[in-house]
Amino acid sequence: MPPNSSSMENSDTILQNACNRTKTCLNGKWAFIVDPYETGYRSHRNGIPHDQIDPEDRSRYYTYFQNRKPSHQADMVEYDFEKAEKIDVPGDWNHQNLSWKLYEGCVWYSRKIEHTPKPQSRYFLRFDAANYETHVYLNGEKVGMHLGGFDPFSLEVTSILNDGINHLSVCVNNRREPGQVPNMRTDWYNYGGITRDVWLIETPLQFIDDYQIQLDNENPQQLKGFVKLSESISSEIILEIPELGFKHKLNSNSNGYAGLNVTMPDFQKWSILNPKLYDVQISTTSDSISDRIGFRTIKVDGADILLNDQPIFLRGISCHEEIPETPRRAHSIEDAKYILKAAKELHCNFVRLAHYPHSENVPRLADEMGILLWEEIPVYWGIQYDKSETFDQAASQLRTLVNRDKNRASSIIWSVANETPVNESRTSFLKRLKSIVTEIDTTRIVSAALDRDELDYSDKLKKEMHVSDPFAPECDVLCCNEYLGWYSGTPDQMEAGVKWFLDPNKPFIISEFGADALGGHRGDRMQRWTEDFQDYVYEQQLKMLDEIPTLRGMSPWILFDFRTPRRNLAGIQDGWNRKGLLSDKRIPKLAFERLKKYYQEKAKVFPDV
């Protein structure tokens, strides 16, 4: 569907910490209609979306969002949500019915909401994610639309919500389009539907819309940030951390904004070894909200990454948000535990959340587990860097991610892109994305997974590596993906040594390396697709990386095998990328043990703080 710019989200509300607000959960069984010809969405004659046609001229037979019932026995209505199939929300549709496994296109969801709205309250429909283009209708009225598959959005419905039964209809379309972010080609599965929780959130008429409460990196006794109210009003705001006996009064200006810069009493810093979180309460005369926040500093000094002013090494792993055993898109807190616990078993202190924003459950759990995170948006490979609509979608996804997780201690790196082809429009695109991050958050590291200059897919390995991407100087930490021994040459060619030529004053992270191995497939270490070959690649990679003086971390590709329609080698791939250190059955491959041992040793040289 081409984006319908006339009906973007209906408010610019942030609803910071949405998960801890007064809310009604709308998860459960929803009615579901698969609508590949977009019959319920647009007119069959001219393709105009029904919701843009004058109600008088609309064909009343097909406007699914009106949820019509035949009014007499001769009346014609060609849909019926009551008789339609039922589907679990949240959850991708692909795993819920075999016939929807590879479906990409338009679907309709519908459910009733029984509610008694309070006169002194406002109401927002909150979708934690739906992939990719979503149109939301309540009681037959359009309340807004959203573009983006992995970012939350909130739509105000106060004036439409009736006392009693309300009818919610949601049209979701996951068809891949050239102008989207990501676009047509990725290396992951295009799970469709309402993939994360849905809530009806209640707020007072004037509420605390947003806040940022972080330590000042340069002055770590100082709490810095702001509180922003939903309305442009002057008001007293109270910030409390009860465990510390801390209470501080702020006054918002006439824009409803109050800057924060206050000395903290003695407190314990959040760290990998002691992921201490404090209950933080913010209140006004009309609203109050509570969050759990950890206070730490993160910065770069020469080639070091400093957590609370102490050098750290990021013992990482990359992961997709997928449960391979089903397989399905992951979304819940239990799913987040499944993934992060596996990373802990590998002795990781760092996880790269590739290649799109993962559910908010992940950073919240990582906060509790003391795991550091890389967060990213799907500016991936060759998207349309010269199109302003594409930039707007990337910018909106990035803004939403940074706003959502800017109070999470675990989140330390914002990545604006992955493996993007170097040219002028792409570099200016990435620079503009970086400035979007720094407008919101100056307390974290900004980077992108770049390519090395010697990018080739030949069977002979180059011996010297450089990263002179023009976006590299913009990155606080230099991050590079490389597949030496897999896509370039073979692991035996690495024995002779590969040298990296890098800025000696910047930390370096290898954001990806790896090799495919079918779990349980054993053989000669030079036999491709075996666990032995993958292990050999890891052996050579780790030897090579240890020679790089500025190396401060790595996130090899990848924790689990993952589904991807790009990988079609029968008997080996069968629709899976096999670079997981754990198979799709969660069984460790040889390289899992090798990396784990390497990390255990690394932790002795670079102890966690």
Binding site for ligand GCB (CB under 6 A): 187, 355, 418-419, 481, 512, 557, 577, 579
Cβ-based neighbours of 341, under 8 Å, separated by 6 or more: none
Query: DSSP of 216-255, one letter per residue?
Result: ETTEEEEEEEEEEESSS---EEEEEEGGGTEEEEEE--TT
Cβ proximity to ligand GCB: between 107 and 509 the closer is 509
Closest contact distance (angstroms) between CB of 118 and ligand GCB is 47
Cβ proximity to ligand GCB: between 218 and 457 the closer is 457
Cβ-based neighbours of 280, under 8 Å, separated by 6 or more: 213, 239, 240, 241, 290, 291, 292, 293
Cβ proximity to ligand GCB: between 258 and 354 the closer is 354
Q: Which of 326, 376, 386, 327 is nearest to 352 (CA)?
A: 376
DSSP bridge partners of 138: 141, 168
Q: How far apart are CA 518 and CA 577, in angstroms?
A: 9
Please state, in angstroms and as integers, the Cα–Cα distance from residue 558 to each residue in 321, 369, 435, 538, following that order: 11, 20, 29, 12
Residue whose CB is nearest to ligand GCB in the complex, by number: 187
Give the three-class secondary structure for 475. Answer: coil
Q: How far is CA 292 from the centre of its chain?
A: 20
Closest contact distance (angstroms) between CB of 178 and ligand GCB is 19
Tokens of 484: 């030496």
Closest contact distance (angstroms) between CB of 418 and ligand GCB is 5
- C-alpha atoms less than 13 angstroms from C-alpha of 556 in its C-beta half-sphere: 31
Query: DSSP of 181-208, one letter per residue?
Result: SS-S--SS----B--S-EEEEEEESS-E
| Strand stretches in 350-505, DSSP E | 350-353, 372-376, 411-418, 445-451, 464-466, 478-481, 499-501
Closest contact distance (angstroms) between CB of 381 and ligand GCB is 8
Cβ proximity to ligand GCB: between 153 and 191 the closer is 191
Closest contact distance (angstroms) between CB of 482 and ligand GCB is 9
| Helix orientation angle between 388-405 and 424-440, rounded to the nearest 10 degrees | 30
Q: What is the DSSP letter of 407?
A: T
Cβ proximity to ligand GCB: between 202 and 419 the closer is 419
Let me know: does 312 contact 319? Beta carbons within 8 Å. no
Q: How far apart are CA 249 and CA 262, in angstroms?
A: 10
Query: DSSP of 310-328, one letter per residue?
Result: EEE-EEEEEE-SEETTTTE
Closest contact distance (angstroms) between CB of 183 and ligand GCB is 14
Cβ proximity to ligand GCB: between 65 and 486 the closer is 486
Closest contact distance (angstroms) between CB of 484 and ligand GCB is 12
Closest contact distance (angstroms) between CB of 185 and ligand GCB is 11
Q: How far apart are CA 89 and CA 25, in angstroms?
A: 11
Cβ proximity to ligand GCB: between 452 and 579 the closer is 579
Tokens of 39: 């019959």
Cβ proximity to ligand GCB: between 199 and 576 the closer is 576
Cβ proximity to ligand GCB: between 43 and 180 the closer is 180
Cβ proximity to ligand GCB: between 142 and 355 the closer is 355
Cβ proximity to ligand GCB: between 152 and 378 the closer is 378
Closest contact distance (angstroms) between CB of 182 and ligand GCB is 10
| Dihedral over Cα of 139, 144, 150, 151: its sign | negative
Closest contact distance (angstroms) between CB of 488 and ligand GCB is 12
Q: How far apart are CA 578 and CA 561, in angstroms?
A: 5
Closest contact distance (angstroms) between CB of 566 and ligand GCB is 8
